Structures are given as structure tokens and as C-alpha cells.
Amino acid sequence: MYQYDKYDQSLVDSRVAEFRDQCERRIAGEMTEDQFKPLRLQNGLYLQLHAYMLRVAIPYGTLSGDQMRMLATIARKYDRDYGHFTTRQNIQYNWIKLEDAADILQDLSTVEMHAIQTSGNCIRNISSDQYAGASAEEAADPRPWAELLRQWSSFHPEFAHLPRKFKICVIASDTDRAAMRLHDIGIQLVENDAGELGARFYVGGGMGRTPMIAPLIREFVSADDLISYCEACLRVYNRYGRRDNKYKARIKILVHEIGAEEYKRQVEEEFAHIKTLNLDPPRAELERISEFFAPPAFDAEAPTEVDLSDPDFRIWHDQNVAEHKNPAYAIATISLKPVGGIPGDATADQMDLMADLAKQYSFDECRVTHSQNIVLPHVRKADLYALWQKLDEAGLAPANLDLIGDMIACPGLDYCSLANARSIPLAQKISQRFADQQRQKELGELKLKISGCINACGHHHAGHIGILGVDRKGVENYQLLFGGSGAEDVSLAKITGPGFTEDGVVDAIEKATDLYLAQREEGERFVDTYRRIGMEPFKEALYG
């Protein structure tokens, strides 16, 4: 894990002091809300439907045990004993008091965390692959690069006031677990034929009201030029991105309007200029950063077999455990999706437990995934059974990774002031309808994603089944979408037709999955069958 140097720490500390002063001035009436709002948003503090909401950055989704424990402490000390892990691999607290906000940031700073750049038109938290450093298929560990990008983008003066928010994702394998091409910049680290490390750049993806898949802008950018190339991408956007219309301000609109070819031409021109400035850090700095992410001291004697004689454990193991690059280890996903639960919510006690388990079983590391789960990246196979038992006791062992029960849901109208409809009750109803383990397993990989409004925080465009909450004359209504994917087979989901009531949408999903079961060919997932047979038969089943 990366550890702050004195510059990192002093930046964060001075920001806490500054914000404390700002909060005090607001409370004392020396500032109006209009004056204060941009300042609090720069520190992740929103005003939501019921209270202030604090969004804390979890850089590239990576947390140490101590950091996770601090998240639990904050939930307990300042909030109502829980937090919500988000699709941007961050955490949100729903019940924050303004008078506590500076203390919270101070507590966070003691474990090298903050809420800087979690809001506003700046470069947001970098997202990455939750299997980084543990998966066998990656070209390199993406985390040192994500960290480099974090340092470059933190307080970058030129990019503090972009036309709109900006999200960057770095992965390093062909399997995409991070919705890479639905980011403003998606970077895939790759090796070229000469065995040199570089990056494939996709620019102009995003969700929201105008979803777009990022086109490939450059096949190979040398790793030594990664920062310069990002700088060039951002500069062209900063200069030409629209500032007159918030809905057309994201980079995806610029790339779409001028075309990927023209955008690329301008980026290349800018890049040729930027290269002369030597912006990329020297290799020594990258090596310094990389050392923090060196592989942990794996136990060379550890057995490579797992005893699967307990059938309940076996179900969890088959579903939630993935292969590790070391044959004696495994990657375990803790699903935050119990039947009838709130996707992504974890209690303070659960967070404490996950911190302890990370310490005990995973070299003190855990990861937050964009599908609102927690990963323990390096678990000895010999420890999996003990781990599972402890998780199960705490309600943290739903065996549903990537199944219909493992759905994404944004906070929706239960918490969010921008929402049109509630997301969570719907998620609960769907998970109850499909609660049966056998049935879920039978349906196979099925990514269901729910957003409470067009902003698409719940990734509905990228769901095999997506659900979008809309307001129909003051009544909650839900549009159903099929055929999206945020993975390497990226695609945007299409609306099935007229919307449904909350119960209607659950029935409609059941009709669609029944059709899939009847029509599927060997090895097809729901989305594969949909792609093969098209929307018509599904429409027939839903509305016929």
C-alpha cells in the first residue's frame, strides 16, 4: 500500500485546517450558503435529501485494515453506524453534521485519507481493478500508475475547474472489472511486441444522460509518457469542452461532436508540445511508488488444495472466490448484497470485522469494487474456510458474486435529492424474488444495475438488465433496459418499451429470465442470448 510522504500529509493536514476555518465561518454567519457551498463540495460534503452527506475518497478502491477500521469508527462516532460503498469505489456517509465535518476529515487524515476532489468539476478519484496485484492476467500492477495519476491530478491547478467532472480508470488486463471504457479516460496497461510496458488510451466514455463507450484514441502510449499523454487529453478538453451547457460539458460530448479522429489529432499535437516539458516523473519516482505495491511475502509452503467438504462453504467458494496468481492463494469477494438488504451498505461492526479479516488473512489489504462489494485480494487457500465461517456469522457471506442477487443500486430517492424514484426497495424486492440460491445459479452471470435517475450512478446503461427510475406524473416508474455491459464486452443497454410500476418491473424481469432459460443455447449468459435473439422476443414476453 502506498504511504504518504511529508508532502502528501502536509497537503491533507493543511486542507483540514482550512476547511475547519471555513465551517466555523459558515456556522458563525460570516459566509452565506452560496459562498460556502463550493468550499464544502471541494471537501466532499453534499447536502442531500435528509442531511449532509460526506463522500470519502478511497484511492483506486484500495484500503488497509487501519483505513477500513477508521471508516467504521467514523460511521459509529459521527454517523448512524453504517456507510454506503459506491460504484466509484468510494464510501458515502448519509447523516453527517456540519459541526463534525472538520473533525471527521481530521480523523481521516490520521490514516492518510480525505474527501478532496470527490465532487466538483475536477479529476475525481481514480478507479481501478479490484484484483490488481493478485490476478495472473495483468500486464503490470495498475496501482502504482493509479497512484502516480492520483498525485498528478491532486490539486492540479490547470484542471481544478474543468468544464465538468472527470473520471479516470486504470486497469491492466483484458478482463475489465472496472467499467474502464465508461470513464472519461480509460487506460489499459499493455505490453507491446517488444515487451515494453505502455498504455492503451480510450477517451470519451461515460454514463449519465448521454451514455457513450470511449473510443480507442491511441493503441500504445509508452509508460514513460503516461502523464504527458493524460495532460494532453485533458488540455484539449479543458480548452474546447463546452462550458455553456452542463449537459453537454463532459468530454464524451466533445469527442463525439468533433469525432475521435479529430480529437486524437489535437491530442497528438498537444502531446508533441508537452513532451518537450518533461512532465513525466523520472523512473526513480515510479520505482519509489512501485515499492509500496511490492507483492506481499507469500507463504511458499502453503498448500494449494482447498477442503470443500462443507457444502455451504463450497457454494460460497465456487461463487465468490477467484484464482490468484499464486497457486496457494485466492481472491475472495465479500458480497455486500444479502437477500433483502441494501446493496453496498455495511455497518460499522461489519467494517471492523472486514478490517480484522484483512489483517488476519489478506496482508492487511482490502479493495472496494465498483459493484459495491469488498475484496480480500490475497487469502491463503488454507485460510478460506476459516474466513468464510467468520463472514457467514456476520452476514457477510452471500454466495452471489456476479449473479442476479449481486446487483448494483444507487441510493435513489431514499437518500438522494436528485432522484426520481427509489432504487433500494426495488433492489430488495428483486433479490427476494430471486433469493433461491439454486435459481440464481441456474440463471448464471446476470448483472443487474439500478439508478434512481438519469444521472446513472447505478450504471443502469451497463447492466445486462438495467433499471432506470423515472417520474411519471409524480409517481415512481421504472424503465427496463437489456443488453448492457461494463466489462470487456462493453455495450449500452436498450430500453425495452413503456415503463413499469415497482412490482411490475419485478414481474417483467422474471418473464425475461424465463424466456432466457427457454431460449438459451449451451454456455450462453442472459446477455448472450439477448444479443443473439434480439429485443423482439423479449418485448413479446413483456408486453405481448
Partner 1 sequence: MIILTGNDLKTGDVIWWAGETNWSRHLSDAVDAGEEADAVLQREDAARRVNAGYSVEAEQTERGPMPLHIKDRVRASGPTVRQDLAIDTNIPIEKA
Binding site for ligand SF4 (CB under 6 A): 410-412, 416, 418-419, 451-453, 455-458
- Tell me the three cell numbers of residue 376: 480480500
Minimum CB separation of residue 115 from partner 1 in Å reads 16
- For residues 59 and 411, which CB has a smaller minimum distance to ligand SF4 in the complex? 411
Site for partner 1 contains 230 (CB under 8 A): no
Residue 452 interacting entry, from ligand HEM, partner 1, ligand SF4, none, C-beta within 5 to 8 Å by type: ligand SF4
Q: Which is nearer to partner 1, 452 or 483 (CB)?
A: 452
Under rule CB under 6 A, how many of the chain's residues touch ligand HEM?
A: 20
Closest residue to ligand HEM using C-beta atoms? 208
CA atoms within 13 A on the CB side of 124: 25
All residues at 6 or more sequence positions from 544 whose CB lies less than 8 Å from its CB, including other chains? none
From residue 144 to residue 163, what is the string marking binding to partner 1 with x (rule CB under 8 A)?
A: --------------------
Nearer to ligand SF4, 75 or 454 (CB): 454
- Unique residue bearing C-alpha cell 476459516: 386
Judged by CB under 6 A, which of 207, 354, 366, 376 binds ligand HEM? 207
User: Considering only residues 39, 260, 302, 418, which one is a binding residue for ligand HEM as defined by CB under 6 A?
Assistant: 418
Shortest distance in whole angstroms from residue 69 CB to ligand SF4:
27
Residue 176, classified by CB atoms within 10 Å of its CB into exposed (0-12), middle (13-18) or buried (19+), is buried
| Residue 339 in the binding site for partner 1 (CB under 8 A) | no
Which residue's C-alpha cell is 465498483? 370
Integer angstrom CA distances of residue 317 from 11, 227, 340: 43, 40, 22
Helices (H), 476-534: 502-519, 526-533
Ramachandran bin of 299, using left for φ above 0, alpha for ψ from -120 to 50, beta for the remaining angles: beta
Residue 402, classed as helix, strand or coil, is: coil
Q: Does 35 bind partner 1 (CB under 8 A)?
A: no
Question: What letter would DSSP give residue 281?
Answer: P
Is 171 or 342 the residue whose CB approaches partner 1 more closely?
Answer: 342
Nearer to partner 1, 6 or 473 (CB): 473
**Which residues, 6+ apart, have CB-to-CB distance to 210 below 8 Å?**
247, 250, 252, 253
DSSP assignment string, 18-84 = HHHHHHHHHHTTSS-HHHHHHHHHTTTEEE-SSSEEEEE--GGGEEEHHHHHHHHHHHHHHSSSEEE
Q: Which is nearer to partner 1, 40 or 460 (CB)?
A: 40
Q: Using the rule CB under 8 A, is 98 a contact of partner 1? A: yes
Interface with ligand HEM, residue 178, by CB under 6 A: no
Q: What is the 8-class DSSP label of residue 112?
A: T
What cell does 233 get? 487529453
Residues 6+ apart with CB under 8 A from 379: 324, 329, 330, 331, 332, 361, 362, 387
Q: Which does 290 bind (CB under 5 to 8 A by kind): ligand SF4, ligand HEM, partner 1, none?
A: none
- Please identify, using beta-carbon distances, which residue of 88 and 317 lies nearer to ligand HEM: 88
If the CB atoms of residues 172 and 456 are measured against ligand SF4, the closer one turns out to be 456
Question: How many angstroms separate the CA atoms of 207 and 204, rounded?
Answer: 10
* CB 417, min distance to ligand SF4, A: 8
Q: List the alpha helices (DSSP H) in 362-458.
A: 384-393, 424-433, 437-443
Position 468 contacts partner 1 (CB under 8 A): no
Q: Which of 410, 446, 467, 508 touches ligand HEM (CB under 6 A)?
A: 410
Least separation, in Å, of the C-beta of 446 and partner 1? Answer: 23
Do the beta carbons of residue 367 and residue 334 sit within 8 Å? no
Q: Tell me how many residues contact partner 1 (CB under 8 A).
A: 30
Residue 537 binds to partner 1 (criterion: CB under 8 A): no
Residue number with CB closer to ligand HEM (185 or 223): 185
3-state secondary structure at position 130: coil
Nearer to ligand HEM, 263 or 313 (CB): 263
Q: Does 274 contact partner 1 by CB under 8 A?
A: no
Minimal distance in Å, beta carbon 53 to ligand HEM? 5
Q: Which residue has the cell 464510501?
A: 91
Please state, in angstroms and rounded to a whole number, the distance separating the CA atoms of residues 6 and 11.
8
Q: How far is the CB of 427 from ligand SF4 (least distance, A)?
A: 12
Neighbours of 385 (CB within 10 A): 16
Report the DSSP pairing between strands 168-171 and 127-128: parallel
Which residues within the stretch 491-520 sit at the binding site for partner 1 (CB under 8 A)? none
- At its nearest, how many Å lie between ligand SF4 and the CB of residue 421? 8
Indicate which single residue of 86, 173, 290, 373 sits in contact with ligand HEM (rule: CB under 6 A): 86
Q: Which residues bind partner 1 (CB under 8 A)?
A: 26-27, 29, 33, 47, 49-52, 80, 94-99, 342, 413-415, 417, 419, 422, 424-425, 428, 471, 474-476
Q: Which residues bind ligand HEM (CB under 6 A)?
A: 46, 48, 53, 86-88, 92, 164, 206-209, 250, 410-411, 416, 418, 455-457
